[in-house]
Structure 1
């Protein structure tokens, strides 16, 4: 008898045309990653609510399958595999994360079997679709890119859930990370001028569209993200006690919550620092980018350092450069691999700064993609000419001043969901996400 996880393994591939081949490969990569992540976890760990901020893992498994059924089967004319009750049960807007453990969810075995049935049907139905279809959902394989990225984003969310888990010891088999020589932090001058923002690429999300040009003045940007070692100085100099550095709402919030340092840090006598990472405690690596800091913490550090957070236009300008043909990635147009950035989730943590010289931008900025998401000063809104597609709930309902934009992806982000134009967003107090930051300042 197959285990629930074995039931998720993909079926074989047939001869396919370009975007269909890309879709099958990306779907397979996401499924393989899910299997690696959940291998060996007991049923109790899959059904337990590990934090009110996160869903039970089994909810995410069935939600991903339901999303795939809705968009890669029903929306493309295939027969439904389930009744409409599943749509309500696994609707992320209908049920808050904190309430999902109280729902009549599928068991792990049922959820994995459902995901397997959906995937088999998706791969079969793919052969009935015309690659050059004028249907907007299929243009360039958009809907397949949307579903693949959605699944990979949930796997990043699962990585955050597993870090929050304390009921079970989770020690993933992490790939070794580079150990470069000590890297110096310095400021890089980014010349002002026209900046091409956004993307019209086939798999770009609606909030990245339309591609457009804005003017960005000259500015200075840190060569690397702020490190743990940098941030320790802010903590130990009393940065959390000085309201001069903090957004007033942020200062009120950290004191109401009793926050004195980044999430998962553990202060020790004598000035030493430890951190908890996936089931074990270890010395805090001073040369890695700081992560698990909220926007308020990032903004306060930048003020303390006499700088500020970059706008998202500045961040994307630094990533794309000033060429007539903007770069898709900071280093050019070649898709990311392990020489460019720490992506894909198998490292289970950031790498020390200076680890990926092949990933530098043309101006000499390091680490813009991978390792940690980078907070910007910008609130989340649509670009001029924005059109919601294919549903408002992906982006439009989040527009406004409540959310801050993050750029660049993290070690837990999949390469398929990372590019210069990709926009992430979250509340300014969120700390369980794999977020850090780098500083900027005006060029005078």
Structure 2
């Protein structure tokens, strides 16, 4: 059997991603791996089982037309069949058995790859799926104080004290991913959008600036909040996240919800960027990739959207409930964090490694609320 260069590269990539996953949790006690840290997060061991089940489904069952290794686990590790809130109550595989399941699936994957070759879409999709789950696992670990030494790695921004705004002239922009590389269905098709001119902050909002918002009444002055955001803040007694005070004042503010980001933008006399504005300016901005950056855009399909290879990746989330985030975070692998990648979450979520970058119109005067 001739092993192609593409096959060899993919085998190496699969192995490297798996090492990264297992290294992430190597320092944890089994009890921490198997408990549910928060209702909005899965037990870490569920993520491990889910990674294996997803790989078996796509790279063995569908790619090589083989039976599932453990059909009895299909529903248990299906994200839609088992919402996060109930995963801690299910009889999922324990850590030892989850590792054995991952190893057994990987052996099948390697056999299927050698016999059926590389599918550039589903193999890349499965690789990135595992990389995305390690970021989600880091979110759970952050909540519980279980991150490995040295994380989170949010560095101070250069010239963070400067209030620099980048002027972007009006014009037509081709939004989305080109056809010559892997991308998700929600990034396609590439299409032109007409954008008015705008100004975008050179850097994401820092912890120091966020504390000025706090000290200026950011969480007590109603006028900066939407009705929905204010109701959420009041119901859950929300104030600034502890990471804002714990972090370096010149590092990007993190664990910011969309509601908070929107209120902070109003305080600043600005607004959140649309995702088209963000994407157009992204390659000229400092600090991209340190925190996810909230946009004003609702998560919807682009004109001409077509679900591929399955509806549940994107299409079932389209609508007015979710807001789009761009750019990636310190925990996002570069393979995932492309300029066109669209993340999404509910506007109240704070577990994600999200911050904010501000936009204002070209003719907007500089001012800050008092």
Q: Are 2:176 and 1:198 equivalent residues in the alignment? A: yes
Contact 1:225 1:437 in 2 (8 A): yes
Contact 1:226 1:437 in 2 (8 A): yes
Give aligned pairs, total: 360
Flag the 1:204–1:181 CA change in 2: closer, same or farther, 3 A.
closer
Alignment partner, residue 4 of structure 2:
16
Report how far residue 22 of structure 1 moved.
4.4
Report how far residue 33 of structure 1 moved.
1.3
Alpha-carbon RMSD across the aligned residues, in angstroms, is 1.9
Q: Which runs of no fewer than 5 residues in structure 1 stay unpaired?
A: 1-13, 132-137, 266-272, 276-283, 320-329, 331-360
Q: How far apart, in 1, do the equivalents of 2:68 and 2:187 lie?
A: 32
Give the TM-score normalised by the residue count of structure 1. Answer: 0.78
Flag the 1:433–1:179 CA change in 2: closer, same or farther, 3 A.
closer
Which structure: greater helix fraction? Answer: 2
Alignment partner, residue 37 of structure 1:
24
Q: Look up the SS of the partner of 1:221 in the other structure.
A: strand
Q: Are 2:320 and 1:420 equivalent residues in the alignment? A: no
Deviations 1:329-381 (A, max 9, x none): x2xxxxxxxxxxxxxxxxxxxxxxxxxxxxxx2xxx2123x110000000000
Contact 2:152 2:330 in 1 (8 A): no
Q: Look up the SS of the partner of 2:75 in the other structure.
A: helix
Q: Are 2:94 and 1:107 equivalent residues in the alignment? A: yes
Contact 2:156 2:249 in 1 (8 A): no
Alignment partner, residue 302 of structure 1:
265
Report how far residue 78 of structure 1 moved.
4.4
Report how far residue 176 of structure 1 moved.
7.5
Q: Which runs of no fewer than 5 residues in structure 2 stay unpaired?
A: 364-370
Contact 1:263 1:293 in 2 (8 A): no
Q: Are 2:125 and 1:162 equivalent residues in the alignment? A: no
Flag the 1:173–1:224 CA change in 2: closer, same or farther, 3 A.
closer
Contact 2:296 2:323 in 1 (8 A): yes
Report how far residue 179 of structure 1 moved.
6.1
Alignment partner, residue 303 of structure 2:
384
Alignment partner, residue 58 of structure 2:
71
What pairs up with 1:14-413 in 2 under 5 angstroms? 15-18=3-6, 20-131=7-118, 138=119, 141-165=120-144, 170-174=147-151, 182-183=159-160, 184-199=162-177, 200-265=179-244, 273=245, 275=246, 284-319=247-282, 330=283, 361=284, 365-368=285-288, 370-413=289-332
Q: Look up the SS of the partner of 2:335 in the other structure.
A: helix
Which aligned segments of 4 or more residues in structure 1 are displaced greater than 4 angstroms?
A: 173-181
Alignment partner, residue 356 of structure 1:
none
Flag the 1:177–1:425 CA change in 2: closer, same or farther, 3 A.
closer
Contact 1:380 1:404 in 2 (8 A): yes
Give the TM-score normalised by the residue count of structure 2. Answer: 0.93
Report how far residue 395 of structure 1 moved.
0.2
Contact 1:81 1:118 in 2 (8 A): no
Q: Are 2:315 and 1:430 equivalent residues in the alignment? A: no
Contact 1:403 1:425 in 2 (8 A): yes
Q: How far apart, in 2, do the equivalents of 1:78 and 1:233 lie?
A: 58
Q: How far apart, in 1, do the equivalents of 2:117 and 2:156 lie?
A: 48
